[in-house]
A and B are shown apart, each in its own frame.
Chain A
Amino acid sequence: MNAVIEVSRRASAEPGWRSRACLIALLLVTANQSAAADAELTEMPLEQLMSEAKLRDASIASASRFNQRVSTTPSAVTVITHDDIQQYGWRTVAEVLRSVPGFYLHSDRSYDYLGARGFARPEDYNSRVLLLIDGQRTNDAIYDMAYLGSEQLIDLDLVDRIEVVRGPGSSVYGGNALFGTINIVTRTGQQIDGIEVGTSYSSFDTFYGRATYGKRLDNGADIVASVSGMDSQGPDLRFPEFNAPETNYGRTSDTAFDRNSRLYARLSQDGLSLTAAASQRENGNPGATFGVLFGDPANRQTDSQAYLSVNYTRRVSADSEVSGRLFWGAYSYDGRGVYAGATIDDPPVRNRDRAEANWWGSELKLITAWSARNKLVSGVEYQSNYRQRQWNYDLNPYQSYLDDLRHSDRSGLYAQNDFQWTDSLKISLGARYDKVGTASGELSPRLGLVFRSSEQTGWKLLYGSAFRPANVYEKFYTFPETQIANDQLKPEKLTTWEAGVDHYLGRNTRLAATTYYYRMDQLIEQITDTESGLLKHQNTGNARAQGLELEADQQWDNGARLRLSLDVSKTENAQGEQLSNSPHVVGKLLGSLPLPWMGLRLGTEGQWLSSRKTDAGTDVASYGVVNLTLLRPMAKDGWQFSASLFNLFDKKFADPAAPDVGVPMRSQFEQDGRTFRIKAIHRF
């Protein structure tokens, strides 16, 4: 050891030469060095083994609702860890997901939306992915939306890992698990072990702060409590579609603000766990969506979410585990819009567009290894959406346009059996039956074959199906002379076929390829009704896609890592045209490199999207962005620092916009140029 320290001291005299040499050395290092690393494991103290030694085959809880290894999971799976989140400077769950093969984002500057495998309807509200927090469903009961941006319930620094399962998950989760199931696993008190405070400052006068307490007490009780908040003034923006003297030539300031606050608390002991989480986010509407008066900072929306959950898990024998959950949830949307008066002499009209939902539910699950080669997971679920209200009114003079109060429920019954036929072949067969409201039942089967042809190579062949019931917004939201209801909407249905191979070259190089075909039937889209000429959600036929996802992931024993992925997809609507907002090619790069100074690490992320069609028929250009984060990881002195540059080369790029009758001339939203963030975390 001493010799090494000597060498590094001497070496640090020539930084320029050395950093170049590091890069060369990195490229030269191959997987063969693993034996040397393994020899060191027994010399590491236990605490260090637990915090630093990584498994190549991670465990995942959400794909089949029991713990299994990624390699044996009958789905394409990616696990993102707390370390990854710190290393790449991700600020929202949306940014985390953007790094995962097969996914891409679009934003209308109010929310972030996730696209998957070439499918991202510009007007979609993230209702085709399921978002779980510690296994608890969080899609709301109005729009069925998965909240991924600054309105997300959980502070990203409270996250231990995020499990991302691509493809349909309805066979165990029911509705909305079409293109993916995302499970956010929060850190335990044992992991936090003390007080942690974090703060950051970033572009557009954005301040962020967090205080967290976590501890496992001597009696075994594990406590986590956290509060955090963010306040951003937001950028000055220019919208070419408002390029007129009366709208300040499209320039707007103080309208892209963004503020949030989050609370989280959990107490667990002996398999019983109580969780309370709440968040509120208020942000502006700089692009004047829905036709509000451009440039008025009174235009804004507030999204509030909360849930309470009681979870009990008990292993009843060596082979069986039962768990139950009781939960309550609430969501509210409050959109404030200032509209022009009826004539030029009338004062502006203040409008409120609101939605509130409350629900409770329960679930029961049994996992049993009923023979040496079989594992069965089965469960029942019930959720009552006892209040689903949407209403819209002008404030002064008061006039109501909509007041729709509903309640509904959903229930489901599922079972999945994993049969290890031979040591190398596993067959997973599962199905779920769902009843949503008064609609007829939905059956979602799934079949997976997982075959290991060698220690280094695994194959997966998957058939899956999923559905999404129309939500109350799509069925019942109306606005005079704009949008009409459609209570006859049928669920969307997705059927997918998927084949994947995963191969390790040595131990540190992973190559993966997945190819898929999916077909969406009875796709629900908002289109202009031929009879009335108004917008209406309708089942509009089908969409199909096929694609290929390639991934190469190289890790070096010194901690450097490079991951490249390439997604190619071809999508088609019922008319045989490429879907809008569907890039043919998405390329991604993630790299991290330990630097020879003070334990610093450099992380870089690159994204490239080919051009996408907008609903207006135009194209948004292809673009590439690069982000850079310099991280000084949490050290023994209790400090972690990072500095990030996002969109390093200040690339101008845009995302396709949803058709908006209030702003008919808009086809795209321009996104942020170069921004920065500096951040510090301290542990006591």
Chain B
Amino acid sequence: MRKLPPDARSTVTGRCRTPLLAVALALVAGWPGQACAQSAPAEENTLKAAFVYNFAKYTDWPDELWSRSPTLRVCTVGERGGFAQAVAALANKPAVRGKEVEVRQLARPEEASGCHFLVVAGRARMAEWTRAVRLAPVLTVGDAEGFATSGGIIGLYAEGDRLRFEINQEAAQRAGLKLSSQLLKLARLVKDESSASQR
């Protein structure tokens, strides 16, 4: 197993980031732009993609897969809507743990080997995809209701006006992935309801 970098383990409470425009305002109007504890709403799919990007910092893939691949391979399947597009935009983001992000849109389940992430957008064929990679070291992330309970590893969901995620630890263990305790602490933990029928 690969060790997590120290910065992902320490308590993550960064300073508020200042939007570019606030910088401009600070220059023209003396606006410090320091308060962002209650910011304006984020674009939802961009926010979901930002969660996916962050999950990479809290996940240990088996050494073999991690060292074999020069990039962090994020594969997307499912509905070709805003979520998939927002994930595709992650390719332009800074490297995570020393690896550039590479995004691929998949058409067949067999193509998923070698992916670090499999992002499943929407409900359609959700079960088929999670079943195809259930024993492979692929972190599955979905945004459909019940994604994690039905065999996926991380499911994104809305609670009030916040985006949250639930984790199916059984599915993560099955896939041979190690999720950091800090990630588990932030998540809602759910039971795997798919395993009974699959065994």
Q: Which A residues are closer than 8 A to B by beta carbons?
A: 1, 3-4, 7-8, 11-12, 14, 17-18, 21-22, 24-25, 29, 33-34, 36-59, 67, 69, 79, 81, 83, 87, 160-161, 185, 190, 216, 220, 270-271, 314-319, 321, 369, 372, 507-508, 555-559, 561, 592, 594-596, 599-601, 633, 636
Contact = CB atoms under 8 A, between A and B. Distances in A.
Kindly name the residue among A37, A59, A271, A633 whose own CB sees the greatest number of chain B CB atoms within 10 A.
A37
Kindly name the residue among A317, A592, A600 whose own CB sees the greatest number of chain B CB atoms within 10 A.
A317
Given A11-B26, A596-B32, A185 B160 contact: yes
B81 to A, nearest CB: 10
A25 B188 CA distance: 40
Given A11-B30, A558-B22, A50 B150 contact: no
Nearest to B96: A42
B75 to A, nearest CB: 18
B21 A33 contact: yes
Interface stretch (B40-48, B61-69, B102-110, B170-178): B40-48
29 contacts: A7-B23, A7-B26, A8-B33, A8-B34, A18-B31, A21-B29, A42-B49, A43-B17, A45-B14, A52-B36, A52-B37, A55-B44, A55-B158, A59-B158, A67-B145, A79-B160, A315-B146, A316-B193, A318-B123, A318-B126, A318-B127, A556-B40, A557-B21, A558-B22, A558-B33, A592-B38, A596-B34, A599-B35, A600-B35
Contacts of B58: 46
Contact of B13 (A47, A59, A314): A47
Interface of B: 11-23, 25-44, 46-47, 49-51, 53-55, 57-58, 90, 93-94, 123-124, 126-127, 145-147, 149-150, 157-164, 183, 185-186, 188-191, 193-194
A596 B31 contact: yes
Contacts of A555: 40-41
Contacts of A49: 47, 50-51, 54, 163
Contact of B161 (A8, A36, A79, A314): A79
Given A12-B32, A558-B31, A318 B26 contact: no
B116 to A, nearest CB: 16
Contact of A48 (B14, B41, B191): B14
A217 to B, nearest CB: 11
Given A40-B19, A47-B12, A318-B127, A601 B163 contact: no
Chain A binding site: helix, strand, loop or mixed by DSSP? mixed
Given A45-B13, A557-B19, A50 B162 contact: yes
Nearest to B41: A56
Contacts of B93: 42
A600 B35 CA distance: 8
B13 A55 contact: no
A649 to B, nearest CB: 27
Contact of A42 (B27, B50, B185, B188): B50
A55 B54 contact: no
B161 A81 contact: yes
A160 B161 CA distance: 11
Given A220-B189, A601-B38, 7 more contacts: A33-B21, A38-B46, A41-B49, A45-B54, A46-B54, A508-B40, A559-B36
A599 B193 contact: no
Contacts of B14: 44-45, 48
Contact of A34 (B43, B51, B124, B186): B43
A269 to B, nearest CB: 10
Contacts of B54: 42, 45-46, 49
A242 to B, nearest CB: 47
B35 A558 contact: yes
Nearest to A315: B149
Contact of A54 (B46, B162, B183): B162
Contacts of B20: 33, 36, 39
Contact of B19 (A18, A314, A369, A558): A558
